[in-house]
Structure 1
Amino acid sequence: MGTWSTEILGNDSAMDALGDLAAGEFSFTELAEDLKDDYIDSSAGDAVLALIEVALAVRGLRELPEDDVVDAARIVLDDDRAAWLLAQSDRVLSLDSEVFQLWQETSERSFREWLGNAEAAVADLRRALEASAGVETLESAHDR
């Protein structure tokens, strides 16, 4: 499985996605293609969760081990893409996801830790986007 820990970035697929992002080689189009099937493979699921962590780091809500990932993400990971990732997370954190199923096969404690970390990241990004939308709404009202 390539898993080192229950942290979102604690696996090879997540780190590969971050490496591709930092190198300017990450493709949201390819990720969307990988997510078209009813069943999500583990590398696509791990990438979605990793990008949620990156979206949080771009907004100053997480720290990543490498700053170049955040710098690269600022260019491509806007609110629309972050919202798209949130929509995908519902599927990643379900029985139709290989990464979810693989974690279910581990110990109950490990599964709960991983799921808790994933759900916390999703909730944090959802709040950040809602706050951002609220600020934009206030700014629009002020401009009138």
Structure 2
Amino acid sequence: MGTWATGPFGNDFAQDWAEDLHESNDLYFIGDTLDNVLSPDNADYLEAPFGAEGLAAVETLLRLEGRGGVEDDDSAAIDEWVDIVKDKYKPRADLLDKAGRALDLILSARSELFELWQDSEHFEAWRASVEDQKARLRGK
């Protein structure tokens, strides 16, 4: 996986996910992504691609809620999509609940993404980024 930043869109998986999101004009793709993260198939061990896509999905929901993080070149494709659909779609409570559970799994020892970042000198910055998503999800 090509990774250049600790934020939710600073990797190849998230950028590919953002391209796929542009083919969607509703929240189904986001829900499907969160369902993949939380699938029983991933209960024992969440592989990095699913974790990276999950972080992108959560951040997209947060942006739809008006609680998005930093807007930059990495988030440009998502920000464009959000601008197009924000008046039509508001995240449902079940999606926000799934987002919280996905973040908990991604931050657990059962997450390959967690393991990969843990072995990096940028682990604390990555973890702080995910914890920031959790705080924004809770409305803080």
In which range does the TM-score fall when normalised by the shorter chain?
A: 0.7 to 0.9
The TM-score, its normalising length taken from structure 2, stands at 0.77
**1 CA distance for matches of 2:130 and 2:115?**
14
Is 1:9 paired with 2:21? Answer: no
What are the superposed Cα offsets for residues 8-41 of structure 1, whole Å, 9 maximum, x if unpaired?
2101111222221221183634652453221001
1:32 and 2:35 correspond: yes
The 5-angstrom pairing of residues 1-144 of structure 1 reads 1-24=1-24, 26=29, 28-29=31-32, 31-33=34-36, 35-36=39-40, 37=42, 38-62=44-68, 63=71, 64-66=75-77, 67-70=79-82, 71-72=84-85, 75=89, 77-107=91-121, 110-127=122-139
RMSD value over aligned CA atoms?
Answer: 2.3
TM-score (norm 1): 0.75
Greater percentage in helix: 1
- If asked which structure has higher relative contact order (CA below 8 Å, sep 6+), I would say 2
Q: Please identify runs of 4+ aligned residues in structure 1 that moved more than 6 A.
A: none
Structure 1 spans left out of the alignment, 5+ residues: 129-144
- Number of residue pairs the alignment of both structures matches: 126
Q: Is residue 22–residue 72 contact of structure 1 (8 Å, CA) maintained in 2?
A: no
